[in-house]
Amino acid sequence: MRAQTAKRILLSFVGLVVVLGLVAFASRRPSLSVTILHPKFRLLTAKLSHGRSHKLYHNGPVTGPVSELIHWAGLNFGRAPLMGFTTNVTDALVVRFTGDFPPNALAGVQAEVVSASGATNRLWCIAGYNAGATPSQYGKIWVLDGPLTNGVTIQLVSATGESAFARIRVQAN
């Protein structure tokens, strides 16, 4: 009986620490505001990654970590759940997207920072994938030029720059 009480107390304590950690982590993350500019474009996930390791999950930010844990435990079925990259940059934009477009029409999507004056600066893509389902899903990781101290607007555009698909407003907290 005493052992069960000790286990309950320990599990309650661990649960409380995890919840407080998640609240603290969520409160320090910059907020993203997304505006879709093309009616056929769908942004599945968009997040900022901070640190030296950036992860892009093939199956989304909720099921991705669970799949990663299962894969890590040696229960390998299906493809690996993520692409991970260790770089010397600390901030990156990680997105997954799809749309009702011809095959490979979104393969060349670029990200660019839009200044207050309207000038654009393309971001460097360090990783990406194309899941060949119908419609195709894409994922990319773009390196941000510097730390987010003020609000930044990032626009997702076609490879030629002729079409704008989405605008992501990043507001640092």
Q: Is residue 2 part of a domain?
A: no
Structural domain containing residue 76 = 30-171
Count how many domains the chain has.
1
pLDDT, tens digit (0-9, with 9 covering 90-100), for 42-73:
998 888 877 776 767 665 554 555 555 554 45
Compute the 3-state secondary structure of the chain and give helix, strand, coil in percent, each to the nearest 5: 20, 40, 35
pLDDT in tens, 114-166: 888 888 889 988 888 777 666 788 888 888 876 655 678 899 999 887 889 99
Asked if residue 17 belongs to a domain, the reply is no
Among 121, 115, 157, residue whose Cα is nearest residue 140: 157
Give bridge partners of residue 123 from the DSSP assignment. Answer: none
